[in-house]
Structure 1
Amino acid sequence: MAAATKVVPAVIVGGGRVGKAMQEMGNGDDLLVKRGDSVPLDFAGPILVCTRNDDLEAVLESTPKSRWDDLVFVQNGMLEPWFHSKGLGDADQVLAYFAIAKLGEPPIDGKTDTNPEGLTAAFGKWASAVAARLHAGGLSCKVLDKDAFQKQMLEKLIWISAFMLVGARHPGATVGVVEKDFRSEVCNLITELAAAAAAEKAIVFEDGMDDRLCAYSRTVAHFPTAVKEFKWRNGWFYSLSEKAIAEGKPDPCPLHTTWLKELKVV
């Protein structure tokens, strides 16, 4: 079935680990655009944005407005408030549950013992094209509708926010060490953040989140931990806390707030 391996050519913004890996999965027809360079008007197909979150503003500025609905965001974290502030609405997104240790190395798929089919997911206009590209590279990828994708996105946000914060409390702890040695700590935080996210977004998560997130942590056990990209990660949960307190309500994430203050992040 030759047709199955046809990968839609894409503009790839960002030549880091993820951008290079995405290019490797293509058929050689992609256009790699370095951060800050202009995205061409006349290159049909998806525009895969593989930069750091803090570079998104610059990427948007160098992309013709008529092409904004072809942007596919491959970032971790909570992008929704930023999307809305830019009028991007339901922008295409990819949740990449694969790890690339070094530039040029093949990605390791985040298949876990609780989700052997893989956790990577895509949403939006170009979701099927992105999934086909990842499949061509030997990686799993599900195409989800908005509601299912949002739940998975929030779950990944909870993973990165919880594991990085607990790890930061134990200097030198990798993701694997957090999962093994500080599991009750991280699971308490996961439960708290999940309850806050579910209440804010009026959704119900599937049962067994802590098992799923701990299983994923075992596949990326070597990852170092640090509280980074605060605005895009823990900052979203902290904003829920600030909002509640300003309204005279109890903090929905008291443990999270306490630990952020303990580490002088806020």
Structure 2
Amino acid sequence: MAVMVSLSRTQLLRLSSLQAPNVPNSRKVDICRLSVGKSRSRGGILRSSTLVAESRISGIARASSEQWGEGAMATATAGEVAAGVIVGAGRVGQAFEKMGGGRDIVVRRGETVPEDSAGPIFVCTRNDVLGTIVDATPASRRGDLVFIQNGMLEPWLESKGLGDATQVLVYFAVAKLGDPPLDGKTDTNPEGLTAATGKWAKATAARLHSAGLSCKVLDAEEFKKPMLEKLIWICAFMLVGARHPGATVGVVEKEHRKEVEDLINELAGAAEAEKQLKFDAGIVDRLCAYARSVAHFPTAVKEFEWRNGWFYEISRRALESGKSDPCPLHTAWLKEIGVVKS
């Protein structure tokens, strides 16, 4: 006996992803026929239930119809990885997808997040397309966005009404497409530095733990200091490296230690004053230890608005109000490499 069933676009995308993971979503939903074939024993007892999908792109795919129970693909019990949506198919996006065991929906450039999807929405893209990603996400789902980008996101998130969004402080690296992520554990923090906060923080930690990566779950207040430390790290090491063309993060830490120490301390002081907090002792040692763990990373000042631009704005406001520049080294070196005008 064949029984016709109606599946949502989200369910079609998940089913077709099993057979054609690299095909755009716009083609995955080109399903010709869906039916449930049921075979019964002589006594009329249901023996099996198989969902069959015939698609122009993937031929025939079979999966247990029990998978399509309401919410089954987006709800995880304790110890499981919650299925969700992954925006972006680059190095980090693919790594997140592998952690999900193929149960996630992957949204690529130009596609929208399905309104009937569920679970966390991991945004694995560059900062400069975040506005487009939010616009491509239904309003009812924007509270499920999980941002894993580097930099100071706080002002931008607040401007979008997403001040409580889940954020992940990433201290792992994916060298190239398909490679497993490497945890950025250091000699000062062997327990790991990656952290998450917000609605989907626990689900994010469970996903990362499934791949052997560390991830702490912090509340919003606890998250502030490590987030600022990571911002200081990327701003300081990238800027000092840019002053010495070709220098990697490891070269900066080893050969230009005094420069990067001075800049870290300067930026830390400005961040403490701006956010009314106090960093734990040993910030220079912690950030230099992380640099040693990713010594091969190249250096360049990028995504200025989201990184060094936050500190430069603090300097600009101070100077305009007649005060001294709280980040004179930072300002001078940005001018030296031509990122800002002299």
Q: TM-score, normalised by structure 1?
A: 0.98
Where 2:262 maps in the other structure, the secondary structure is helix
- Indicate if the aligned counterparts of 1:96 and 1:121 stay in contact, CA closer than 8 A: yes
Answering whether residue 277 of structure 2 is matched by residue 200 of structure 1, we say no
The secondary structure found in structure 2 opposite 1:158 is helix
Give the distance between the partners of 2:133 and 2:97, measured in 1 at CA: 18
Correspondent of 2:239 among 156, 165, 174: 165
1:5-58: CA deviation from partner (whole Å, max 9, x where unpaired) = 410001000000111000111132101111331001111100000000001011
1:144 paired to 2:218: yes
Local SS of the residue matching 1:72: strand
Task: Give the aligned partner of residue 86 of structure 1.
Answer: 160
Q: Is the 8 A contact 1:8 1:45 kept in 2?
A: yes
Q: Distance in 1 between matches of 2:298 and 2:77?
A: 40
More strand as a share of residues: 2
Q: Is the 8 A contact 1:35 1:51 kept in 2?
A: no
User: Which whole-Å deviations, capped at 9, do the CAs of 1:169-219 have from their partners, x for residues lacking one?
Assistant: 000000000000001100100000000001000011111001000000011
Mapped partners of 2:193, 2:336: distance in 1: 33
User: Helix, strand or coil for the counterpart of 1:94?
Assistant: strand
Q: Which amino acid aligns with 1:88?
A: L
- Indicate whether 1:30 and 2:104 are aligned: yes
SS in 1 for 2:236: helix
Report how far residue 162 of structure 1 moved. 0.1
Match of 2:257 in 1: 183
Q: Which runs of 4+ in 1 moved over 2 A?
A: 2-5
- Asked if residue 127 in structure 1 is aligned to residue 198 in structure 2, the reply is no
Measure how far apart 1:90 and its partner are. 2.1
Structure 1 residue 42 corresponds to structure 2 residue 112? no
Instruction: Name which one, 1 or 2, has greater alpha-carbon Rg.
Output: 2
Corresponding residue for 2:298?
Answer: 224
Q: Distance in 2 between matches of 1:3 and 1:92?
A: 20
SS in 2 for 1:249: coil
Query: Structure 1 stretches of 5 or more lacking a match?
Result: none
Q: Once the 2 structures are TM-superposed, how far is the Cα of residue 3 of structure 1 from its aligned partner? A: 5.7
| Preserved CA contact (<8 Å) 1:36 1:58 | no
Higher relative contact order (CA 8 A, sep 6+): 1
Residue from 138, 142, 145 that aligns with 1:64: 138
Encode CA deviations 1:85-125: one digit per residue, 9 max, x unaligned.
Answer: 11111211001100111011001100000000000000000
Q: What TM-score do the two structures reach when normalised by structure 2?
A: 0.76
Task: Answer whether contact 1:36 1:59 (CA < 8 A) is retained.
Answer: no
Of Structure 1 and Structure 2, which has the larger fraction of its residues in helix?
1
CA distance in structure 2 between the partners assigned to 1:194 and 1:11 by the alignment: 36
Return 83-92 or 245-254, whichever deviates more. 83-92
Q: How many positions carry a matched residue from both structures?
A: 265
Deviation of 1:4 (Å): 5.0
CA separation in 2, counterparts of 1:208 and 1:162?
Answer: 16
